[in-house]
Amino acid sequence: MNERGQVQIVVVLLFVVLIAGVGLWLTIATNSQAEQALETARQQGAHVELAEPATIEVSAVSVLPLSFNPSLDQSATVRFELSEAADVTVAMYGPNNERVATLIDGSRLEAGKHTADWDGRDDAGQAVPDEAWYVRIDANNTSGWGRWDPLAHSGGDRLHPTSIEISRMGDTISYVVPKAARVLVRAGIEDGPSLNTVLNWRPRAAGQCVEIWKGFDQQGARYFRAPDIAAIVSVQCYGLPEASIISTGNRAADYFDWYMGHGASLPVKEEVERLSVLDGTTSRHWGLPPHLDKDPAVTLAFPQVDPSDPEPGQAIMLDGDDVLVRMDVPVDAARDFISNQRFELVTFLDDVRIGEDEMAHLPYNWSWNLSDVPDGEHWLTVNLVTFQQHVGIATQRVNIQRGDPPAASADAGDDQGDDK
């Protein structure tokens, strides 16, 4: 080999050594930075766990019954198996990942089958509202750890309800869901407005479900199940996490009020990677906060008319060619949730679309021109439709009278003048 070739080999070897040295330096620097970050987190009181593979198998998890009524002293039982002895924690969580009840708190359990009972109360002894709850099981010992969290592998799958029917009398709506699900039921007019959210994303057990409707609109003022009205019903649903428990029978507490007043202060577990909503099989509602992910309550008001806030079914008397109409979402938390989305307002008169605004905001005011609306009674309906397909509904009966008042009787005046 000549001298030039020897020089080239030396240069190449030096280059390889340099690259290897840089890589080693980067590795050392990266590891040093990671260790420093972990140590800083520990010093600040954080609980740091390294992502080591699970070694304890938590399996055969089930819950019976899938739906229970704690007000009748019913309870639910969680069953599971451990591959080896471990310190075990079994806890119930709410739909916002709030830790509601601890059934087993770090107790040492041997390998094999085990159970834990839940009476439908939280750790403070309060009865939980009617909702769907899920169980998480953590196991730890000196050699490793294990976990069963249903959010990591289930929930949110779009389901297709079947056998949707309105009863002959129009007082109930029935349907069948293939598994435990969160369900939305709306009733409305074919090619017209939605008029009632009969069931607002509530949990339901698998099988046939029956919802009481009675054929009225959201405000309970208009009956639209009459034979001459083309009423339609839509049912949407998505699956609950595996082994969810549905509590019923607590009429004193609504989940929204319970969560805003109590549940939001409970410990929240770390988020797990959920199934993607981009694959077309997962509902767009999966992962949204369930206490807010609902069709919002909507109000219609006529500020220049007395009364501006009428009783349900009471007709608003309107005259002239223009009237100010105000639409709003009265609950602050719901208004903020809606305002952070794109939404549009669609207005209907006697179930016929008369307007649409895709750049709406809350509260929303508009001047309703009545010049083309005939005198008499009409139904004004507003649908607030969000990008996430929430639909807020408000309907108001109006009575338009623009004719001149009847003239005073001339005979009556003459009689009064002749009275001597």
- CA–CA separation, 308 and 328 (whole Å): 13
Largest CA distance in the chain: 147
Distance from C-alpha of 196 to C-alpha of 199, rounded to nearest angstrom: 9
54-155+244-282 and 299-400 in the same fold? yes
Is the pTM for the entire model greater than 0.75? yes
Question: Which CATH code is given to the segment(s) 54-155+244-282?
Answer: 2.60.40.4070
Interatomic CA distance for residues 32 and 34, integer angstroms: 5
Each residue's pLDDT, cut to its tens digit, for the chain (420 residues) gives 544 444 344 333 334 333 344 343 333 333 444 455 445 544 554 444 445 788 999 999 999 999 999 999 999 999 999 999 999 999 999 999 999 999 999 999 999 999 999 999 999 999 999 999 999 999 999 999 999 999 999 999 999 999 999 988 878 999 999 999 999 999 999 999 999 999 999 999 999 999 999 999 998 989 988 777 888 999 999 999 999 999 999 988 889 999 998 888 899 987 665 555 556 789 999 988 989 999 999 999 998 887 666 777 788 888 878 899 999 999 999 999 998 888 999 999 999 999 999 877 899 999 999 989 999 999 999 999 998 889 999 999 999 987 655 454 444 444 444 443
Fold of 299-400: Immunoglobulin-like (2.60.40)
**Contact in structure between 317 and 399 (CB atoms under 8 Å):** yes
Residue 46 neighbours by CB distance under 10 Å: 9
Architecture of domain 158-239: Sandwich (2.60)
Q: How many CA atoms lie within 13 A of 36 on its CB side?
A: 6
The residues spanned by each domain of the chain are 1-48, 54-155+244-282, 158-239, 299-400
How far is C-alpha 324 from the geometric centre of its chain's CA atoms?
32
The answer to whether 338 touches 329, Cβ cutoff 8 Å, is yes
Q: Are 104 and 90 in contact (CB under 8 A)?
A: yes
- Conformation bin of residue 38: beta by default, left when phi > 0, alpha when psi is -120 to 50: alpha
Burial of 417 (0-12, 13-18, 19+ CB in 10 A): exposed
Distance CA 360, CA 326 (A): 12
Q: How far apart are CA 262 and CA 94, in angstroms?
A: 12
